[in-house]
Amino acid sequence: MTHALPLPDFEHERVEVVTGPRSGLLIIGALHSSTLGPALGGARLWTYPTWVDALGDALRLSAAMTLKNAAAGLDAGGGKAVLRLSPGEVLTAERRRDAFLDLGDVVASLGGLYRTAEDVGSTTEDMLVVSERTPHVVGLPSSVGGSGEPALPTSVGVYSSLRATLEAVTGSADVAGRRFTISGLGQVGGRLARRLRDEGASLTVTDVVGARRALADELGATWAEPGSEHLAEADVFVPAGIGGVLTDEVIDTLAASAVCGPANNPLAERAGAARLAARGVLYAPDFIVNAGGVIYLDGEAREPGAPETMQRVEAVGDTLREIFRSADEAGITPLDAAELRAKERLESAPPAARA
């Protein structure tokens, strides 16, 4: 379940909120910006206490995609889809298929201004169902010629960002002997945990899914009870689950030198970036760190198999280094610097792109 947060300001071009006629699920298609081109962002299937929580998440996530795609240099706007499960609700295979057919209709209603993809709770197979209703979907299974699961390229970009963050706080990008706390062991967090362990890092991990403790045992990692992981001493705290985990209380008791992870919108409030800075904790903006997946999906959609795509994914850490450098030079937080980078790109778009 996601953290309940207030609704953000409405800055979106268009938002569709429907009850799926086949599935009965609340489905939201949020188009934040098409300034740089058709929006690109995943479809999240998740449990929310109320429909307002689902709407708020869709608005925040789609706005973050505008920043992410702009800062990454993509000719793509920001959008996101959310399919809301009620607490305790479990979908049958038939109803799940119906839900993604309904999503396909929502995406189609946006007239090509939003391309959807796999995200938390959804899969490449779900995207294949979406493709039955609309061509505006990327990340189809590799078995049908699609680009497949983007978690691997996302983790590659996050890993390069972790090295850049370590370099900034310790003077060396070497992960061996460093301490990481990973909160969330899903597709991306699990991959990071394995890679960091293989390279000699010390790990504290947790997940709200108790069964994932088996991965901690396999890796020889210390398991922390969910909600207490931020208290573990670490060089880098890695939020890799659902957003909103960095509340004021967590920030004030965080026992790490830096925060760098793949979770979208980990700050419960934007002011948390300044609060972290006041404590001397380096914050790596999430929409820079986790851009590897969308860079990969966009590149594969344009030119499948192009080696330049993974080169751009691996360069995410270099982008983060530029953000840290800009922040230091201007005397601002890395979040301010990252948002400025995205804003400058959006404002420099030619009039035709902004029309």
Q: Which of 79, 82, 141 is nearest to 111 (CA)?
A: 79
Q: Are strands 114-115 and 43-47 parallel, antiparallel or unpaired?
A: unpaired
Burial class (CB within 10 angstroms; exposed 0-12, middle 13-18, buried 19+) of 145: exposed
Six-digit token string for 48: 């929310």
Determine the straight-line distance between the first and last CA of the chain, rounded to whole angstroms.
38
Query: Is 80 tagged catalytic?
Result: yes
Strands (DSSP E) contained in the chain are 14-19, 26-33, 39-40, 43-47, 77-85, 114-115, 179-183, 202-206, 222-223, 234-239, 256-259, 282-283
Q: Which residues contact 280 (CB under 8 A, 6 or more apart)?
A: 257
3-state class (DSSP) for residue 114: strand
Residues 338, 170, 326: CA angle, nearest 5 degrees: 25
Burial class (CB within 10 angstroms; exposed 0-12, middle 13-18, buried 19+) of 314: middle
In angstroms, the CA 35 to CA 77 distance is 6
3-state class (DSSP) for residue 167: helix
Catalytic-role residue among 44, 60, 80, 345: 80
Backbone angles phi, psi at 304, to 5 degrees: -55, 135
- Residue listed under structure tokens 């960002």: 161
Taking a C-beta distance cutoff of 8 angstroms, is the pair 49, 1 a contact? Answer: yes
Q: Edge to edge, what strands does the sheet with 179-183 contain?
A: 222-223, 202-206, 179-183, 234-239, 256-259, 282-283
In angstroms, the CA 36 to CA 65 distance is 12
Active-site residue set: 80
